[in-house]
Structure formats: structure tokens, C-alpha cells
Amino acid sequence: MFVRITADSALRPNSLRDLGLTSESNALVSLSEFSYKKGTEIYGEKEPAEYVYQVKSGAVRSYKLLSDGRRQIGAFHLTGDIFGLANGAEHRFTTEAIVDTTVRLVRRQSLEIVAESDALVAKNLLSMTTNNLQHAEDHMLLLGRKTSLERVAAFLLEMDNRLTASGVIALPMSRRDIADYLGLTLETVSRALSRLHDLGILGFVGNTQRQIILLDRNQLASLDLQP
Amino acid sequence: MFVRITADSALRPNSLRDLGLTSESNALVSLSEFSYKKGTEIYGEKEPAEYVYQVKSGAVRSYKLLSDGRRQIGAFHLTGDIFGLANGAEHRFTTEAIVDTTVRLVRRQSLEIVAESDALVAKNLLSMTTNNLQHAEDHMLLLGRKTSLERVAAFLLEMDNRLTASGVIALPMSRRDIADYLGLTLETVSRALSRLHDLGILGFVGNTQRQIILLDRNQLASLDLQP
DNA sequence: CGGTGAGTTGAATCGCCTCAAAGGGGGTGG
DNA sequence: CCACCCCCTTTGAGGCGATTCAACTCACCG
């Protein structure tokens, strides 16, 4: 693994709380930080699930591959997100750093042990899993029934909500990543963005590789039928 | 609601065990049975999630609708399956009986109370939610990246596994239901089944409305790329 | 026996994909 | 510091798979 240890792996109290897993019994759990260079794998599908991760900075994609290379990205993990959690004994996705990324991690086992005796931690585990499930359920609707324009609009709204909620976003992922998340090709994503630009629903700031996008959330929302 | 009470709603011990939620503390939880006629709604999206259900007999579809009527079925619930569980305060799907269906149900609230003090129950709740999540993750890959033939092959394999695991199945749901589950149209599903028939991968028994299907699981599996 | 709804099949259309080419941006090495 | 190269992105043209529209069959039911 191309990882670099950037912080202590000391035993610290409150580490569960750091992961959003509020605990009254301040169990001692090892909490480390790791950094992954852009494009490197964090863990692979079918690997034993040893750790649970939280994005400290950067962005992560988690995906499945078919044997012929077709890829479906199930989720993007952004700053603050916890991932690698919703697994049985082994990971069901491969995850990679989209940009240089730093994560915090705790041993999965220590979480399970604490959850055994601490109902609050158990509750939070369930609640996080339920959130993941809800996201997957919404995404099934998108993948099964929405048009390319609706998918891209929904994607932009989701990213705006999660990144800034301000109508100005800098996407960390490529067109190909977006396409594999939305079940489209990168060309179709590009065309949809151009179309939204032509419609005056979004604009680009600067001509940098990963553009900053200004968007009109109301107009986007009208393109993305939810109910 | 077009429901008919077919059994007692008496307080019974072991009712959690009946739902597969093994409990050491045999809490008293009300367990009822309800029957739904073919095509009737069990609960609607956004309704408060008052009960958790287990299919005693029959089959259930659970789906989301877009405002213009496009439908995505997220799951089919067959005999023994528990559904209505993976929700926060309110349901995220509408569920309907596909055929005449009898369900057992427990109040969601009583489950939560027991889970509070019983780590085993809490663990089972988490494990069931994780199973739902895994199904949704696999389905995202299908909806985002598989061809119509691969989708139908995957569907037949899933149904065979869950219904009989014998290579002979009687599908309870219509072509339209299958289509809305697979993100296709009913015509495309029909064409795919005809194609599989022509390829000698499946056969029909009788000419009844909901045919019995004989299938070659090995040949189907070779059409459905997973890894 | 008509009526109805589910299923199959064909023909035409359409949306997205594939293939291709051209335009930058950013990074690297001279 | 600049030139070159590589990769990402955009855009166009053509093709294809799935959808749409339509006709017909068949089981089931009054």
C-alpha cells in the first residue's frame, strides 16, 4: 500500500466520538491517520474488512467492477464521511482516493466489541448503515429510471448539498467518475453539463482542469423529479 | 386499508424469535397477522413506519415513484422475508401485495425498545439492514451497468435461489413488475425471456398466465457477469 | 362466449453509446 | 523558463440497444 503514516496511532480515549460514534463508556480504541496519494487503492473488494475509515480531507470513490471492466461507483465519500463500515466480514466495494486524501481509521473489531456493550454505539452503527441504505435506494431510482439530464442534475444537487450547500462547488472527481456513478458514459455527462450551461443553469469559473461550478439550485431541482 | 385480520393479535412470548430476531430476554411483543388482497397497498412512502412485517405467504413489491409515474421496484419480498424494517421514522418505499399475501407484523417501537437493552436483537437488526444494503449495492451495479439480457439472467437466478433453488420457479410477479425491478420495459423483458428460451436456457411448463419456468442455472450464470 | 388484461412479437424511433478528432491545462524535463 | 507531452474534456457523426407504438394471441372470468 502506498500509505504514509502522518500521525500517531496512539491509544486515545474519545476516538469513537471522533468518528461520530458517540460513546458514554470511553473505551480505548486505536485511532490512526493515513494518507493516500491520488489514485491509490484504500482497500479492495473481498478483502477482509479490518478498519473503518473517516475522510479527514480529500475524496474517495467506492465501486464495483464487472469482469469485463464495466464499473459502477456506488458512492463518493467526502470530508467527514465514514466508509468501510457497512460490511460483513469482507468489503463489498473497492475504494480509491480520488485526490490526495487523509483518513482516520479504527479497527472494525474494536467497534464491534464496544457495540456489544454500549447500546448507543450500536444505535449509531445501525443509523449509519440505514443512511447508507437510504442513499443506495435513492440511487437505484436514479439508475433505473432517470434520464441523463435528470441524473446529472441530481448529482450536482447532491454534491452541492454535501460540499458547500452554497451553489458553488469544485468537483474533485473526473467526468469518468461522475459517469460511472450515474450509469452513463463520460461523453454523455459532458454533453449534459454543456446543455445545462447553455440553458443558463450553471456556469464555470476559470478554465482549470477541475472547474468550479456555479449552479442554480432551484432550476436544477425542477429538472430532478423526486416524488 | 383492505386488510382482514386473520389471526389473534395476542401478546405472545417468542414473537421476536418468530421474526428471526432471536432474543434471550423473551420480551412480550404483540404479533398479529394480516392479509392483503392482490394489488392492495400495505404501506405508502412517507407514511410513519409503525410496523415491521414478515411475509408468511404471498409476495410483496416495494417501490418508489417519480412524479410522472416512472416506477422503480427496489425489492421483492417473498415468504419468510422481513420488510418495512430499514426505515427511519417513515417508510421510504410503497409496498403492495403482488398476489394475495399474509404477513405477520410487530410494532416497530417494541423492537426498538427491546434492542435498547438486548445486544443480540440490536445485532440482528443491524445484520438485516446490512443485508438489505448489500442487495441494494448489487442492484445498483445491475441497474447502472448491465445489459438487458444480463439483468434478466440475474433476476431469474435470484428468484431461483430465493424461491426454490431447484431450477424450477413460478414467478408471482408480472412482466411489468420485473421490468420496473430491472430498469427496463416489459417488452424488453419479454424479448429477453424469449431469447433465453430460443437459446435453450429456459423452458416454460404449461400455458398458464404466470408460467412455471425451468432454467439452466449454469448457463444463466455464464450470462450474468458478477466479479 | 364476449370481454379483459397479460404476454408476445414486429416496426419504427430515440436516447445514449461508440468512435473519432480537436482543444486546452498542467506537469515535466531540458 | 519554456516547450513539449499527456491527459482530461468537449464536440461531432454514426450506430445500436432499448423504448415506443401497435397488432395479435391467449388465458381467465363473468
Does A19 or B38 have the greater pLDDT score?
A: B38
Contact, A38 CB vs strand D, < 7 Å: no
Taking CB atoms and an 8 Å limit, are A67 and B145 in contact across chains?
no
End position of a domain, from candidates A143, A165, A189: A143
Whether the pLDDT of residue B8 is over 70: the answer is no
A100 shares its domain with A183: no
Return the higher-pLDDT residue of A23 and B221: B221
Last residue of a domain, one of A143, A167, A187: A143
For B144, the closest of A119, A134, A183 (CB atoms) is A183
Across B49-67, average pLDDT:
96
B54, pLDDT greater than 90: yes
Inter-chain touch B140–A145, beta carbons under 8 Å: no
Based on the domain organization, do A138 and A151 belong to the same domain? no
Q: Is the pLDDT of residue B27 over 80?
A: no
- B198 CA → D24 C1’, Å: 21
Nearest-neighbour CA in chain A from B106: distance (Å): 19
* pLDDT for the residue numbered A7: 36
* Chain A touched by B133 (CB under 8 Å): yes
Pick out residues 88-147 of chain A having their CB under 7 A from any atom of nucleic acid strand C.
147
The three state secondary structure string of chain B is CCEEECCCCCEECCHHHHCCCCCCCCCCEEEEEEEECCCCEEECCCCECCEEEEEEECCEEEEEECCCCCEEEEEEECCCCEECCCCCCECCCEEEECCCEEEEEEEHHHHHHHHHHCHHHHHHHHHHHHHHHHHHHHHHHHHHHCCHHHHHHHHHHHHHHHHCCCCEEECCCCHHHHHHHHCCCHHHHHHHHHHHHHCCCEEEECCCCCCEEEECHHHHHHHCCCC
Q: Do A113 and A29 fall into the same domain?
A: yes
pLDDT at B28 over 50: no
Instruction: Sheet containing A60-65: give its strands across.
Output: A41-43, A94-97, A60-65, A71-77
Nearest to A104 by CA among A18, A21, A17: A18
Q: What is the number of domains present in chain A?
A: 2
Domain holding A139, by residue range, is 3-143
Do B131 and B20 have their domain in common?
yes
CA distance A17 to chain B (A): 19
State the count of interchain CB pairs (< 8 A) between A and B.
Answer: 119
Q: How far is the CA of A115 from the C1' of C17 (A)?
A: 47
Q: How large a percentage of chain B has pLDDT more than 70?
A: 86
Question: B94, B125, B143: which is the final residue of a domain?
Answer: B143
Nearest CA in chain A to B86: A130
Of A72, A145, A146, the CB nearest to B141: A72
Pick the closest to residue B140 from A182, A171, A222, A20 (CA basis). A182
Q: Tell whether the model's pLDDT for residue B86 goes beyond 80.
A: no
Q: A73 with A121, same domain?
A: yes
Question: Which residue in B123, B126, B183 is closest to A143 by CB distance?
Answer: B183
Contact, A190 CB vs strand D, < 7 Å = yes
> Which of the pair, A10 or B154, is modelled with greater confidence?
B154
Question: Nearest CB to A119: which of B116, B129, B130?
Answer: B116
The average confidence (pLDDT) of chain B is 88
CATH assignment of the domain containing B202: 1.10.10.10
pLDDT of residue A214: 87
pLDDT digits over B10-22, tens only? 333 445 555 666 5
Task: Tell me: do B84 and B97 sit in the same domain.
Answer: yes
CA of residue A195 to C1' of nucleotide C18, angstroms: 20
Pair A130, A165 in one domain? no
Per-residue pLDDT of chain A (227 residues; tens, 9 = 90+): 333 333 333 333 445 555 666 554 444 456 899 999 999 999 999 999 999 999 999 999 999 999 999 999 999 999 999 999 876 789 999 999 999 999 999 999 999 899 988 999 999 999 999 999 999 999 999 999 999 999 999 999 999 999 998 999 999 999 999 999 999 999 999 999 999 999 999 999 877 777 889 899 999 999 988 76
| Three cell numbers, residue B123 | 445485532
In the 3-class helix/strand/coil scheme, how is chain A assigned residue by residue?
CCEEECCCCCEECCHHHHCCCCCCCCCCEEEEEEEECCCCEEECCCCECCEEEEEEECCEEEEEECCCCCEEEEEEECCCCEECCCCCCECCCEEEECCCEEEEEEEHHHHHHHHHHCHHHHHHHHHHHHHHHHHHHHHHHHHHHCCHHHHHHHHHHHHHHHHCCCCEEECCCCHHHHHHHHCCCHHHHHHHHHHHHHCCCEEEECCCCCCEEEECHHHHHHHCCCC
Q: Are residues A168 and A79 in the same domain?
A: no
A145 with B183: Cβ contact below 8 A? yes
The fraction of chain B above a pLDDT of 90, given in percent, is 76
Q: What is the pLDDT of residue A28?
A: 44
